[in-house]
A and B are shown apart, each in its own frame.
Chain A
Amino acid sequence: MSRTLGKIVAVGVITLLILSANEVFAQDGDTYVIRGATIHTVSSEPVKNGTIILRGGRIVAIGQNVDIPSGAQTIDGTGKHVYPGMIDAFSQLGLTEIGSVAATNDATEMGRFNPHLNAHTAIHPASEHIPVARANGITHTLAAPGGSGSGITGQATLVHLDGWTVEEMEIEKSAAMVMTWPSLATRGGRFGGFGGGGGRRSFDEVKRRFDEQVEEMDDWLVAAQHYKQAMDAGSTRLGRDLQLENLTRVLDRGMKVIIRANGHREIESAIEFAGKWNLDIVIAGASGARKVIDLLAEKSVAVILGPVQRLPSNQDDPYDDPNTLPGLLADAGVEIAFATFGSSDSRTLPYEAANSVSWGLAKDDAFEAITLGPARILGVADRLGSLEVGKVGNVIVTDGDPLEITTNIEHVFVRGVPSDLDNKHNRLWEEYKNRPLKAKAVTTT
């Protein structure tokens, strides 16, 4: 009874915090109306010739017959489509600027066990990548630390892709703890692995290293558990340890754990580990998940899939292995989300999702996997991911199907206010398409 009460109080406090956050950042007085559009709510049937009203940062009305408040700024949505903004469920947006320049990369820290590090501390709100992604309708992302090799990579932050500071962008500062599972690949893996590259190793050697590294993960959780017990018991002999203090948060399903794993045996191992420690896990990557679909379904483990436009993992895999996997997972009842795992290419998120549609994933499910799906996976479906009264006003207006390449994104609202669609690319385009034709005289002087 008291526990339930505590939960209610906790939820109340959180709700208050969210409301206060939005009160601070949204321009309370401004009301925005999109009228006469097809409103694709994702959570229910589309509303044709519908109107949606945003006020105080939130969606306050959706329907065919809603009163339009006076003084509202209105967009004529005739022939247009309204959707929730898209969520890139795992990216490095804000954490990297130019791939090959180390000085611009803040996604990866030294060392393999960094549970105390948080992406939030390095997100660069002025990154040129953010407006580029936003202009194509990506309104949120889980900005996640990377890492070289297996280990506890750090905490990922869920952000709105608009804001003057990271505090304005933030939805959940510690949305998830990212772990990178060791790899059993004998040729060195793209993710995890043993430092990458190198020649082929014997399976026995790789398996021995793998077991050692899983044991290391286990040791860290043992240490976190002991630390928690000591702290809960009011120990004064133990100094404050930021690594362990942060890692204790994943115990008893206190913080979501995203485990990066690709091969089916790695996924099996991660799920077994999560069961042992009662972790609330999501598998990220999962390129080799085909052989463990039933296990994922049985254990209700959600999956954040990487780009569909990737090569099959093995030489003898079917050419369309990446395309068919999302549909197979969805058919089995596994919750899926798509993510780019990148930054500059985050704008291609809807096309990655679309590339599984002709291979078995329903079109609506593909779109849900970049909106409400990731919102559920990341535990924010009460606020984001669909168009429902009371949810945060993250909305896009398009001239067609957002999964289709040729569709244009005409308006983007983040936290209930219009976002600037200007970006580095549009600016350069405007500038250079208007370059005066080169005068012949210039070359002859």
Chain B
Amino acid sequence: MRQFCLLALGLALTVVGKAAAQDTPVLIRGATILTAADAGKIENGAILFENGRISAVGLASDVQAPSNATVIDGTDKFVTPGIIDAHSHIAAESINEGSVSVSSMVSVMDVIDPTDIAIYREAAGGTTTSHVMHGSANPIGGQNAVIKHRWGEDAGGLLFQGAPPTIKFALGENPKRSRSAGTGLPQRYPASRMGVMDVIRQAFVEATEYRREWDAYEDRREGGDQGAIPPRRDLKLDPLVDILNGSLSVHAHSYRADEILQLMRVAEEFGFRIHTFQHVLEGYRVADEMAEHGAHASTFSDWWAYKVEAYEAIPHNAAIMTERGVVVSINSDSGEEGRHLNQEAAKTMKWGGLTEAQALALVTINPAIQLMIDDRVGSIEVGKDADVVLWENYPLSSYAKVRTTYVDGNVVFDVDQDREMRVRIAEEKAELLETLGEDEKEETGTRGGNR
């Protein structure tokens, strides 16, 4: 019976975890395609996608559509890969487990909220994949989730199947809780950058010991000792062992150059690598060290001065790190900013002088590399997922506007469909308000609130 239940549960998960398939092939013809791949920019190009994958891309004259394809005229329009937001907090019921200094046992995947309207609104800005991250309350935070913006799917259906797991670390003001004074929150170690590094080091001392115990146990088992007793499972340390083994990648919230450097050194001490620094507003000061360590960087375009550790931030940060060999992305950290990452990327052309291709890479292929999903998304290449944006006009511009966003070949946003939908929603709301208003009048004799 129990086995049957588990089997049923497994089936259910499989079903919900599978996104709807694309029914008809789509051909967009005559557009300028910015591929974010070796093909660069293709003028008067065409892209064909079928069954959720890109099946052809090239000059409009070279790409043939199957007879059942929906053909879209892309004249004067632009096509880019779907935008990937390497740092987001949308679609999550909660963000921070802030009561402990090490919260590696929790995961955002357990709290995905598929009803968050931000999923749709960001899709309307061309975003197709988001890295939904744990907050920055703890030196070692929780595990993150990678989702696709499949608006309308349930929580399981949003998850990016096959995306390697990631975990959040955090340095500086937030984990030392310098701004919690007077908020009524209990005091908690650490309270300084020294303490932050110590918490991380202590945790990996523990994790190294824990791994050694498990290795010893497995050696005994392999040596035929059937009586060997396994060490007690520790859900906090399991993820840290994964980090040590290189199967769980660290995304570390950071601001100041010194803390960025120190975390790399702590990681090197334990033989692992910081996969990506998040925010990393002073990355421009230690870009060579980051490149040498092999760390990526995911930063903001031009935010600064909102706190002390952001006071030396400069909008040239992405450009300097790029020039020095770091793989850089521009992220949102916000359900608003996630609606125009194309424009945020364009700012690096102005401040720092990146090329169009370099700027576009900051919000497409580079974040895909950082999330280790670049074999699936992040550029327009045959075989990749059909996560594609059709723009009304040039995307790296303050005038940019999305026409249609596709995820796995399905329309998740379209300007015309949106217009139709809002009429339906307005009608439905009016009907509901009518009912509510009547009830409230009867019950309370007062004017009903209408929002």
Contact = CB atoms under 8 A, between A and B. Distances in A.
B133 to A, nearest CB: 19
Interface string A312-343: 10111011100000000000000000000001
B305 A343 contact: yes
Interface in B167-197: 173, 179
Interface string A291-326: 000000000000000000111101110111000000
Given A99-B307, A347-B302, A318 B418 contact: yes
Interface string B282-301: 00110011001000000000
Contacts of A126: none
Size bracket, chain A contacts: 35 or more
Interface in B301-341: 302-308, 310-312, 314-316, 320, 323, 335-337, 339-340
A432 B340 contact: no
Nearest to B314: A425
A437 B287 CA distance: 10
Contact of B124 (A100, A320, A359, A403): A320
A354 interface: yes
A433 B310 CA distance: 19
Contacts of B340: 309, 355
Q: Tell me the interface secondary structure of chain B in the complex.
A: loop
A241 to B, nearest CB: 34
Contact of A344 (B284, B304, B337, B448): B304
Interface stretch (B101-109, B205-213, B347-355): B347-355
A438 B288 contact: yes
Q: Which of A129, A202, A345, A358 has the most CB of B within 10 A?
A: A358
Interface stretch (B227-235, B239-247, B393-401): B393-401
Nearest to A186: B449
A408 B349 CA distance: 10
Contact of B446 (A98, A204, A443): A204
B117 interface: yes
A406 B93 CA distance: 37
A315 B308 contact: no
A387 interface: no
Interface in A93-144: 97-101, 128-129
A127 B339 CA distance: 31
Nearest to A204: B446
Contact of B320 (A186, A344, A433): A433
Contact of B398 (A98, A185, A351): A351
Contacts, number: 127
B307 A100 contact: yes
Contacts of A204: 444, 446
Given A129-B305, A403-B398, A428 B312 contact: yes
Given A203-B449, A344-B305, A354-B399, A405 B343 contact: yes
A101 B307 CA distance: 7
Contacts of B34: none
A358 B289 contact: no
B314 A405 contact: no
A358 B401 contact: yes
B343 to A, nearest CB: 6
Given A202-B449, A345-B303, A351-B343, 9 more contacts: A98-B305, A185-B451, A318-B422, A354-B399, A358-B392, A425-B314, A428-B284, A429-B314, A433-B320
Interface of A: 97-101, 128-129, 185-186, 202-204, 206, 309-312, 314-316, 318-320, 343-345, 347-348, 350-351, 354-355, 357-359, 403-408, 424-425, 428-429, 432-433, 435, 437-438, 443
Interface of B: 117, 120-121, 124, 173, 179, 284-285, 288-289, 292, 302-308, 310-312, 314-316, 320, 323, 335-337, 339-340, 343, 346-347, 349-352, 392-393, 396-401, 418, 422, 425, 429, 444, 446-449, 451
30 contacts: A99-B306, A100-B173, A100-B179, A101-B307, A185-B451, A186-B451, A204-B446, A311-B336, A318-B422, A319-B121, A319-B339, A344-B303, A344-B306, A354-B399, A355-B340, A357-B398, A358-B392, A358-B399, A405-B346, A405-B396, A406-B350, A406-B397, A425-B314, A425-B315, A425-B316, A428-B312, A428-B314, A429-B284, A429-B351, A443-B292
